């Protein structure tokens, strides 16, 4: 985005005040991940405001990209159920693209392992295409038109920043029986390949947006 000379603002939702009008007025919104569920609004009240802001954008087909929790917010806003999956899906593994996925910008990661880090799954929203799946998560990515793209897994991961993930989620990893050494080694093995492929995915998606 900065290569395209766009202004980029990062907002830590729940810590900083969420200005709904600013979210709605943004040319592009990227909703990132987090270690909570979209259904935990009583524990985390900001979820109500974020859901409403995203719902307004997607109802107007404003360009929106959701990653992990962000994709779950989008799915909920579009009318799909979101809830706990059969288990934690954490670590590097490939995805299986659907026919629609192979015809989408995700085609660039067809043979590239990606980083999974989620416990919740979402249903396929109405009028959306399912783009990818894994054995424990039948809906890994979806799109509606060319402007709305939701991705459950992580293609945005900077390999240099994986240590912060491993430390910040140490309790979750331990409870899920995941060895941080394996994730660290796999990040070293696959991170550069994913970063290159992800650049192609995002470039093609941005080029296809209808403004």
Give me the domains of the chain, ranges plus CATH numbers: 20-208 (3.40.50.880)
pLDDT of 20 reads 86
Mean pLDDT of 52-61: 95
Tell me: the pLDDT tens digits for 137-191? 999 999 999 999 999 999 998 999 999 999 999 999 999 999 999 999 999 999 9
- Nearest-CA neighbor of 98 among 126, 122, 131? 131
Tell me: the pLDDT tens digits for 78-127? 999 999 999 999 999 999 999 999 999 999 999 999 999 999 999 999 99
Total number of residues shown for the chain: 211
Q: Average pLDDT over the chain, rounded to whole?
A: 96
DSSP string, 33-90: --SS-TT-TTT-THHHHHHHHHHHHHHTT--EEEETHHHHHHHHHTT--EEEEEEEEE
Can you give the pTM of this predicted structure? Answer: 0.97
Q: Can you say whether residue 91 is alpha, beta or left, with left for phi > 0 and alpha for psi between -120 and 50 degrees?
A: left
Q: Can you say whether residue 167 is alpha, beta or left, with left for phi > 0 and alpha for psi between -120 and 50 degrees?
A: alpha
Q: Whose structure tokens read 């015809």? A: 103
Tell me: the pLDDT tens digits for 10-39? 999 999 999 888 888 999 999 999 999 999
pLDDT of 111 reads 93
* Contacts with 159 (C-beta within 8 Å, 6 or more apart), sequence order: 187, 188, 191, 192, 195
* Contacts with 69 (C-beta within 8 Å, 6 or more apart), sequence order: 31, 32, 33, 34, 36, 37, 38, 118
**Token representation of residue 150:** 């939701």
pLDDT of 22 reads 84
Q: Whose structure tokens read 């779950």? A: 72
């Amino acid at each position: 985005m900065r290569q395209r000379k766009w202004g980029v603002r990062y907002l830590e939702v729940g810590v900083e005040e969420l200005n709904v009008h600013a979210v709605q007025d943004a040319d592009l919104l990227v909703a990132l991940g987090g270690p909570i569920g979209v259904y935990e609004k009583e524990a985390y009240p900001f979820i109500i405001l974020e859901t409403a802001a995203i719902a307004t954008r997607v109802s107007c087909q404003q360009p929106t990209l959701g990653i992990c929790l962000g994709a779950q917010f989008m799915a909920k806003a579009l009318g799909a159920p979101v809830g706990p999956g059969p288990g934690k899906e954490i670590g590097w593994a490939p995805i299986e693209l659907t026919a629609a996925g192979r015809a989408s910008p995700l085609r660039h990661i067809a043979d590239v392992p990606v980083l999974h880090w989620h416990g919740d799954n979402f249903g396929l929203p109405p009028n959306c295409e399912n783009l990818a799946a894994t054995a424990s998560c039948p809906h890994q990515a979806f799109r509606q038109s060319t402007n709305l793209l939701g991705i459950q897994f992580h293609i945005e991961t900077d390999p240099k920043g994986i240590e912060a993930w491993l430390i910040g989620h140490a309790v979750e990893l331990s409870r899920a029986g995941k060895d941080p050494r394996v994730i660290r080694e796999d990040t070293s093995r696959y991170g550069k390949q994913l970063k290159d492929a992800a650049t192609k995915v995002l470039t093609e998606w941005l080029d296809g947006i209808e403004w």
